[in-house]
Structure 1
Amino acid sequence: MSMSSWSSRRFLLGFALAVLLIAGVVSSLASASPDGLDAATLRGCDTVETETGEALVGDCIAKNAADHQLSATPLADYAVGGRSGLTGVAGIIGAVATFAVAAVVFRLLARARRHRAGP
């Protein structure tokens, strides 16, 4: 293994650890309060408790909203299994998944580049 290769691997390992640390810590600090877009879509409505859960009363854009197709998945709403106290874990899982997808894409691109360059 050359010195340049070792240096690159150390950099990538350090970068990956920094990303995982940031993903775990920063995502656990995320606010559960609605962001600007959520607040804007709720303007004109009030949230009331009903027998079946919360409902919107009034005239706002959010009344037309429906749950996303993936809202019942284990990592929906930046939580793990619906437990909002695990947002840091969800952030780490998201970072690892992003690394995995990027690794596959980069390998495919490198293989295609080598194939184009010929023997």
Structure 2
Amino acid sequence: MRKRSWGFVAVGLLVALVLAGVVSNYASSHPDGLDSSLLRGCTVNADDEITGGSCPAQQARDHELADSPLADYGIRGVDNGFLSTGLSGVVGVLLTFAVGGGVFWLLRRRGPADAPGTGPSPADGRHAGDRQSAGTAG
């Protein structure tokens, strides 16, 4: 990767880390559109617990990973809510960056030179992309 590309990636990663680590703490705690629509027909208290009525949200169950270390936008064991949310965002960004970077690295390693029909030519032993100087020794 060219030096300019590395700088672009580094700045993008830094912006994502700041957004995930700091700005994510200021996201709205009110339910989004899906949550709100699932609560229609129910009565909820100040803690968003269903106290009566009938709505689809009453059928909700915990996810299988609800006890995982990064569940509920925080890190289990970190008592400071601001720090817990920020750290979970940073960990999420780093994991996503690592997986995405690994996939792109693997795809880059399998570039056009590895594609069928572009390997060494039986006539001169060079790759198809090296033919600009086919008439000269070198």
Aligned length: 111
Q: Secondary structure at the match of 1:110?
A: helix
User: Is the helix fraction higher in 1 or 2?
Assistant: 1
Please report how far the alpha carbon of residue 81 of structure 1 lies from its aligned counterpart in structure 2 after TM superposition: 0.9
Q: Secondary structure at the match of 1:34?
A: coil
The TM-score with structure 1 as length reference comes to: 0.78
Task: Tell me the residue number matched to 2:99.
Answer: 101
The 2-side partners of 1:55 and 1:7 are apart by: 53
What amino acid is the match of 1:111?
Answer: R
Match of 1:74 among 69, 72, 76: 69
What amino acid is the match of 1:98?
Answer: T
The 1-side partners of 2:95 and 2:14 are apart by: 14
How high is the sequence identity, in percent, across the aligned residues?
A: 43
> Is 1:16–2:6 an aligned residue pair?
no
Higher alpha-carbon Rg:
2
What amino acid is the match of 1:101?
Answer: V
Task: Tell me the residue number matched to 1:115.
Answer: 114
Q: Secondary structure at the match of 1:74?
A: coil
The 1-side partners of 2:14 and 2:89 are apart by: 13
> Is 1:46–2:49 an aligned residue pair?
no
Q: Structure 2: 5+ residue runs without aligned partners?
A: 120-126, 128-138
What amino acid is the match of 1:6?
Answer: K
Task: Tell me the residue number matched to 2:88.
Answer: 90
Task: Tell me the residue number matched to 1:51.
Answer: none
User: Is the strand fraction higher in 1 or 2?
Assistant: 1
Q: Structure 1: 5+ residue runs without aligned partners?
A: 49-53
The TM-score with structure 2 as length reference comes to: 0.68
Are the counterparts in 2 of residues 80 and 87 from structure 1 also a CA contact under 8 Å?
A: yes
Q: Secondary structure at the match of 1:57?
A: strand
Match of 1:30 among 19, 27, 32: 27
